[in-house]
Chains A and B, each alone.
Chain A
Amino acid sequence: MKGIEKRLREEAKKLLETGSVSAVLAFRDGYDGDHPVPFAARDVSDADAIVFNEYCTHNLARYVTEYEPGTKIAIAAKGADSRALVVLIQEEKVKRDDLVILGIPCSGMKDARRGTVIDEATTGNTVNPVIHDIMLADQLPEPDTSPYSVLTDLESRGHDARWKFWRKELSRCIRCYACRNACPLCYCDPCFVDQTEPRWADKSPSLESNLMFHLTRFYHLAGRCVDCGDCSRACPMNIPLYLFHKKVAKECEEMFGQTAGMDPEETPVMVDFKVEDSDEILL
């Protein structure tokens, strides 16, 4: 990690010095070393403040859409982050040419608040960035496990048991929208849930309005979610949203034969169709 941090600072310095980018999206120290904060280095003098350690779990692709189109930015991207960038490129929210992607192969990143290793449940086993301009470390061996194995338990339960599970989880939601706002792909303005005409979901948290919000959000991420897991880490109530997103991702893969965020040239599955899509998917 220290090696990556060093390379990251070097590359940031170079890019800022030559003026080839106006900002480098990375991390700096927060109130202590275990709580890094996303950080946009804009000047060579900022580069030494850049840190990278095992707690830098945040998906920086979240910030890319905040820049004016045409602004050149460099971004430190881990595996899942790079897939989010791919989706943003596919959806024309950012141009590939405006990005300098500093790829970071990594695994074993840790959630500072919970102390858990994040790729045990999320990140879709993407240890290596799928697109990059500069790699900051050697590629890691690809894991040979399925990213969907965490779903086995829930999938094996019956409908009533699953409902019981989600009822408990989703009724705890306080609608702070941290999940949505942490998500690199939730860029709608306004979000459907904030619309008043029509009002899709009541403002007060209740099982019903929470269901409306989350189910619709799961749907909106269908074929797009890259399993970075930021929604679930952002949640103050520890709701395992990633399970649902993963399930939808898995179904999309099986039905449409395409994994989200792998190739900038592909069209996201939900804005596409094939005449030969089978009616069996509706059963």
Chain B
Amino acid sequence: MKNPYMPMPVTIETIITEVDTDDIKTFRVVFDREEDAVAFQYLPGQFAEMSLYGTGESPIGIASSPTDEGYLEFTVQKAGMVTSELHGSDEGRTIGIRGPLGNTWPLEYLKGKNVVVVGGGFAFTTLRSLTRYMLDGGNRQRFENITVIYGARTPGLLIYKDELAAWEKRDDVETYITVDQGDENWQGREGFVPTICTEVAPSSNNTVAVICGPPIMIRFTLPVFFDLGFSKENIYTSLEMRMKCGFGKCGRCNVGSKYVCKDGPVFSLAELDALTPEY
């Protein structure tokens, strides 16, 4: 029996810092063992426990796409013990990964549908995974129109800048990047994500909205989508909870009869309505 508590060793290959506050970094890791790389089969929306011996483990959404071969990426905000230690690490350090854990964005359900991806701030990570996945080669044709609406507080806080620029150039995805407040160099949109959503006004016909961001953004964005005629079954989001084991034993992420780690983190609004409001 494989011990589910045992992390797989990975090495930090590259650390990307692209925001002007130093509390968000993207870590690209590669598996030390070939068999782990083969075993780690994931889909967008899933997460993994990043393990640093001596400090502990922390659940982090996978920001890379399964179509990216040979590495995984995690974008991590410095908050607690593990993430602080991770932020203090150098390239070349060996850490551990336990996963993939949790469910995925509803890829089967999205097939043949229009997809609106709405992200705010640093919560864009698994949405980036989803977008990369949908836009990748043969995958693109499985989805209809793809719209990406992504905002951050300032231009300096946008993550995956190069990628966003590349998406803006593509004609098979509509990309709307916005910041709450621009600076002297900012040429793009200004305005809060809900406002941009109102302006873009994606049709709810055969469309699923996938939303992830800070609670305040979600709170103001949802009414926009309801007004556009989106049903609760067609709006998906991802929850954050304190977790330890990641596979439904430790009881920590229990909300109602669900465990966010194994029944989530992805839920439709309809599913969330059935949960107790304790997240």
Interface residues of A (CB under 8 A from B): 196-197
For A198, the closest partner residue in chain B by CB is B81
Interface flags, B76-96, vs A, CB<8A=1, else 0: 000011001000000000000
Interface flags, B194-229, vs A, CB<8A=1, else 0: 000000000000000000000000000000000000
Whole-angstrom CA separation of A197 from B84 in the bound complex: 11
Interface size on B, residues (CB 8 A): 3
Can you list 5 pairs linking A and B with CB atoms under 8 Å apart? A196-B80, A196-B81, A197-B80, A197-B81, A197-B84
For B81, the closest partner residue in chain A by CB is A196
| Chain B residues in 8 Å Cβ range of A197 | 80-81, 84
Whole-angstrom CA separation of A223 from B88 in the bound complex: 42
Whole-angstrom CA separation of A6 from B84 in the bound complex: 59
Whole-angstrom CA separation of A184 from B81 in the bound complex: 31
- Smallest CB–CB gap between B243 and chain A, Å? 15
Whole-angstrom CA separation of A60 from B81 in the bound complex: 37
Whole-angstrom CA separation of A223 from B81 in the bound complex: 34
Whole-angstrom CA separation of A196 from B57 in the bound complex: 13
- Smallest CB–CB gap between B23 and chain A, Å? 15
- Smallest CB–CB gap between A204 and chain B, Å? 13
- Smallest CB–CB gap between B151 and chain A, Å? 31
Whole-angstrom CA separation of A160 from B272 in the bound complex: 59
In order of increasing CB-CB distance, the 5 nearest A-B pairs are A196-B81, A197-B81, A196-B80, A197-B84, A197-B80
| Chain A residues in 8 Å Cβ range of B80 | 196-197
| Chain B residues in 8 Å Cβ range of A196 | 80-81
Whole-angstrom CA separation of A84 from B81 in the bound complex: 36
| Chain A residues in 8 Å Cβ range of B84 | 197
- Smallest CB–CB gap between A12 and chain B, Å? 35
Whole-angstrom CA separation of A196 from B242 in the bound complex: 14
- Smallest CB–CB gap between B197 and chain A, Å? 38
For B56, the closest partner residue in chain A by CB is A196
For B84, the closest partner residue in chain A by CB is A197
Interface flags, B57-89, vs A, CB<8A=1, else 0: 000000000000000000000001100100000
For A197, the closest partner residue in chain B by CB is B81
| Chain A residues in 8 Å Cβ range of B81 | 196-197
Whole-angstrom CA separation of A197 from B85 in the bound complex: 12
Whole-angstrom CA separation of A181 from B84 in the bound complex: 30
Whole-angstrom CA separation of A262 from B271 in the bound complex: 57
Whole-angstrom CA separation of A196 from B58 in the bound complex: 14
Whole-angstrom CA separation of A197 from B80 in the bound complex: 8
- Smallest CB–CB gap between A173 and chain B, Å? 22
Whole-angstrom CA separation of A196 from B81 in the bound complex: 7
Whole-angstrom CA separation of A30 from B268 in the bound complex: 43
For A196, the closest partner residue in chain B by CB is B81
- Smallest CB–CB gap between B83 and chain A, Å? 12
- Smallest CB–CB gap between B81 and chain A, Å? 5
Whole-angstrom CA separation of A214 from B150 in the bound complex: 50
